[in-house]
Amino acid sequence: MKTANLLIAGLLVLVIISSFTSAFGVGFRGSKFNLHPGDVLDTSFSLQNNDVGTGTITIEVVVEEGGDYVALVGGSSRFDVPEGGNVEVPVRISVPGNARVGDLYKVKVLFRQLNSIVGNEGGGTNVGFAFNQRNSFDIQVVESIEKGAPEKESIAANILLWLVIIIVIVIIVWLILKKKKK
C-alpha cells in the first residue's frame, strides 16, 4: 500500500510541476535529405509556442554541427514566438559541388529558449523553466541524374512509337487495298 501511495504522490507532483513549465515545439519536414552534389534546398523549421498565458518567448537557433551545409536565411538567429503561435525559421541546406556520392553529412541544431516565463503577468509564483530542444538530421549525397540521358530515352521512345504507328497505317492501307481488289 505504501508503494501505491508513493506512486500516486509522485504522479501528482509530476502533474503539478508540468503545469508550471513553459513549452515550445520544433517542427521539421524530415530526418534525412537525399541531395545531389551541388544541390541547394530551401526549407524551414517551425517553432510553436504551445503555452497559453505565457506571452511571447524568444528562441535562439544555433547550428551546432554541419554549419558548412546548413545556414539560417535572413541573418537573424533569434525568433520571437507569440503565445499560441508559430514562427517559420528559414534555412538553406546545400551540398558542395565536389561531394562524393555516398557521403553523409550530420547536422545538429539547438533551439534555446532565452527568456524564462513568469506566470500571472510577472507577479505570480508560477515560474516556467526555459528549455532547450535539439533537432538532428542527415544529408545523404546521392547520384545525380545525367541531364542528357532522359532526352535520349524519350527520343528512342518517340521513334519506337512512330514506327508502330507507321506499321499500323501500312497494315490498314494494305487491308483496304486487298478488299478493293476482291
How much is the pLDDT for 122? 44
pLDDT digit string (tens) for 81-100? 888 888 899 999 999 999 99
How much is the pLDDT for 8? 57
Would 148 be classed as within a structural domain? no
- Domain of residue 135, residue span: 22-141
How much is the pLDDT for 100? 92
Rounded Cα–Cα distance for residues 11 and 25 (Å): 23
**Is residue 9 scored above 80 in pLDDT?**
no
Rounded Cα–Cα distance for residues 109 and 74 (Å): 17
How much is the pLDDT for 15? 44
Would 170 be classed as within a structural domain? no
The CATH number covering residue 34 comes to 2.60.40.10
Yes or no: say if 68 and 114 are a contact pair by the CB < 8 Å rule: no
| Confidence class for position 29, pLDDT limits 50, 70, 90 | confident
How much is the pLDDT for 114? 84
Closest CA to 18 of 128, 116, 114, 132: 128
pLDDT digit string (tens) for 48-74? 887 777 788 888 999 999 999 999 998
Would 8 be classed as within a structural domain? no
pLDDT digit string (tens) for 109-158? 999 888 765 444 444 434 445 578 888 899 999 987 655 555 556 677 78
How much is the pLDDT for 140? 93
Would 13 be classed as within a structural domain? no
Q: Which helix (H) or strand (E) holds 36?
A: none
Would 73 be classed as within a structural domain? yes
How many other β-carbons are positioned within 10 Å of the β-carbon of residue 132?
A: 12
Largest CA distance in the chain: 107
How much is the pLDDT for 124? 41
Would 55 be classed as within a structural domain? yes
Tell me the pTM.
0.60
The total number of structural domains in the chain stands at 1
